[in-house]
Chain A
Amino acid sequence: MLIQINYKSGKPVYVQVVDQVKAASASGALKPGEALPCIRPLAEELRVNRNTIAKAYSELENMGVIETIPGKGCFLKHNNSPLRKDVRRKMLIEEIDQAIVQAHHLQVSRDEFLEAVRQRLAVFDQKRRASEDRED
């Protein structure tokens, strides 16, 4: 799993880490039970404050995405989000709303937007299949 920080995005750095771990888990780049990079080496590699990574990891742990095993590190949890389905749905809708607002500002039409969503879904499916093939 590769994480990249973009200061131009305006998103808080820890949120970028959270989002990318979630994206890696959705795409299969990070599999359930797999270890996340340790805090200090990752902080050094990304050239960010270790507290930023620690904050991202504790956020991911609170969301039930990862779990910390003392003395061993952080691992992606087996796909059992503890959040109730309607809560998960609400979280997703907030993200979709942001994308819709952004599309409006960038003057992306409704059809283009929906087409882009379809394309991205296909990309993620493809990535997941590719990583499953490697597994087999």
Chain B
Amino acid sequence: MNAPTSVIHIENLTYAYGRGSEAIDNFNLRVEAGRCYGLFGRNGAGKTTAIKCLLNLLRPERGHVRVFGIDPGKHEVEVKRRLTYVPDQVSFYPWMTIRETLDYLASFREHWNAATEQELLRRFHLDANRRAAALSKGQRTQVALIAAICPEPDLLLLDEPTSGLDPIVRREFIETVIGAYQEGNPGNRTILVSTHLISEFEGLIDEFTIMDRGRGLITLRADEARDRYKRIRARFSQSAPELDLSMALHVRRAGRELDVIVNGGGREVMDRLLKYNPEALTTEALTLEEIFVATSRDQETLNGPAVLENP
């Protein structure tokens, strides 16, 4: 038996500026079945371009793109029948009601889970007789997400699904939708979500890639990331000692305190700090959002003015 095919496999993808899309440079991505995968990056990092290449909405200049092992450039319909896509801006025909909109979208699909549809309409308090024109942005996104999961696709592509929404609204529904989607067949329900609102997705993401200026910076499993990236704080009775912490990602000193961020090697940093008898020494994991900030900041240090002092 062959090894299972990755649901998404992108290799050395390159797409240049100039046609209104963000550039991508030698980007790699591999998403296995059943994962909830996060594609993190600032606006303009290239997240949307990567997703559009999966959908054959953009043609890559160079590189290899496979979805379910199939080339979307050659077999677009074959790929699209097995996935659904929610872009960051959703629009419906304004004259249609929610009921008509869902029926219209269902007509393109081989399969539609009406029970899930009913459950989510009820949970979101959506009146199926309302016209699309009368819906708020949050409600439009809710309808789009319902329409995306009812066909029970093998892959759900979400491009900035919660941006521009009221935080209270999005807190409530993103996990509801993802939970409903995964419920039926968890091993085969795969999600790729692009976002810069990382804290919203902290617990949902199994694995992620951080993109910056068209390139992949890091790819890690979420648990592994929180294990490796640590913030260590030490306070000393006198001003903080000068010591070699070159293995740290960032070191910030403020009087008697040292604030160190590490990517692995936390134990060693702690041991070195302990030799100077700190009054207090604490360590905590970085959240995914903090890891995103720390790694992006790292890039700025490499590419531009150093924003951090290193002892």
Chain A residues in 8 Å Cβ range of B202: 7, 47
Whether the pair A50, B179 counts as a contact (CB closer than 8 A) is yes
**Which A residues between 50 and 83 are near B, CB-CB below 8 angstroms?**
50-52, 54
Q: Does B287 contact A (CB under 8 A)?
A: yes
**Which B residues between 207 and 254 are near A, CB-CB below 8 angstroms?**
222-223, 226-227, 230
Identify B206's interface contact among A5, A47, A49, A107, CB under 8 A.
Answer: A49
Whether the pair B186, A51 counts as a contact (CB closer than 8 A) is yes
Identify B183's interface contact among A9, A14, A40, CB under 8 A.
Answer: A40
Whether the pair A44, B226 counts as a contact (CB closer than 8 A) is no
State whether A51 and B285 are in contact (beta carbons under 8 Å apart), knowing that A10-B230, A12-B223 are contacts in the complex: no
Whether the pair A105, B203 counts as a contact (CB closer than 8 A) is no
Whether the pair A10, B285 counts as a contact (CB closer than 8 A) is yes
Chain B residues in 8 Å Cβ range of A13: 203, 222-223
Whether the pair B284, A8 counts as a contact (CB closer than 8 A) is yes
Chain B residues in 8 Å Cβ range of A47: 171, 175, 202-204
| Chain A contact residues: helix, strand, loop or mixed | helix
Interchain CA distance A9-B226 in the complex, whole Å: 8
Chain B residues in 8 Å Cβ range of A9: 284-285
Q: Does B176 contact A (CB under 8 A)?
A: yes
Q: Does A106 contact B (CB under 8 A)?
A: yes
Q: Does A48 contact B (CB under 8 A)?
A: yes
Identify A7's interface contact among B179, B278, B283, B287, CB under 8 A.
Answer: B287
Q: Does B205 contact A (CB under 8 A)?
A: yes
Q: Does A46 contact B (CB under 8 A)?
A: yes
Identify A50's interface contact among B186, B222, B278, CB under 8 A.
Answer: B186
**Which B residues between 170 and 200 are near A, CB-CB below 8 angstroms?**
171, 175-176, 178-179, 182-183, 186
Minimal Cβ-Cβ distance residue in A for B232: A105
Chain A residues in 8 Å Cβ range of B283: 10, 105
Q: Does A29 contact B (CB under 8 A)?
A: no
Interface string of B5-43 (1 = CB under 8 A from A): 000000000000000000000000000001010000000
Chain A residues in 8 Å Cβ range of B281: 105-107
Interchain CA distance A54-B34 in the complex, whole Å: 13
Interchain CA distance A19-B183 in the complex, whole Å: 24
Interchain CA distance A86-B182 in the complex, whole Å: 39
Chain B residues in 8 Å Cβ range of A49: 36, 178, 182, 203-206
Interchain CA distance A109-B175 in the complex, whole Å: 44
Minimal Cβ-Cβ distance residue in B for A10: B285
Whether the pair B182, A50 counts as a contact (CB closer than 8 A) is yes
Chain B residues in 8 Å Cβ range of A10: 226-227, 230, 283-285
State whether A43 and B179 are in contact (beta carbons under 8 Å apart), knowing that A48-B204, A52-B203 are contacts in the complex: yes
Chain A residues in 8 Å Cβ range of B285: 7-10
Q: Give residues in A with beta carbon < 8 Å to B.
A: 5, 7-10, 12-14, 40, 43-44, 46-52, 54, 105-107
Q: Give residues in B with beta carbon < 8 Å to A.
A: 34, 36, 171, 175-176, 178-179, 182-183, 186, 202-206, 222-223, 226-227, 230, 270, 274, 278, 281-285, 287-288
Q: What are 18 A-B residue pairs whose CB atoms fall within 8 Å in the complex?
A: A7-B203, A8-B287, A10-B226, A12-B223, A13-B223, A40-B179, A40-B183, A44-B176, A47-B171, A47-B203, A49-B204, A50-B182, A50-B186, A52-B203, A105-B270, A105-B274, A105-B283, A107-B278
4 A-B pairs with least C-beta separation: A10-B285, A48-B203, A12-B223, A8-B284
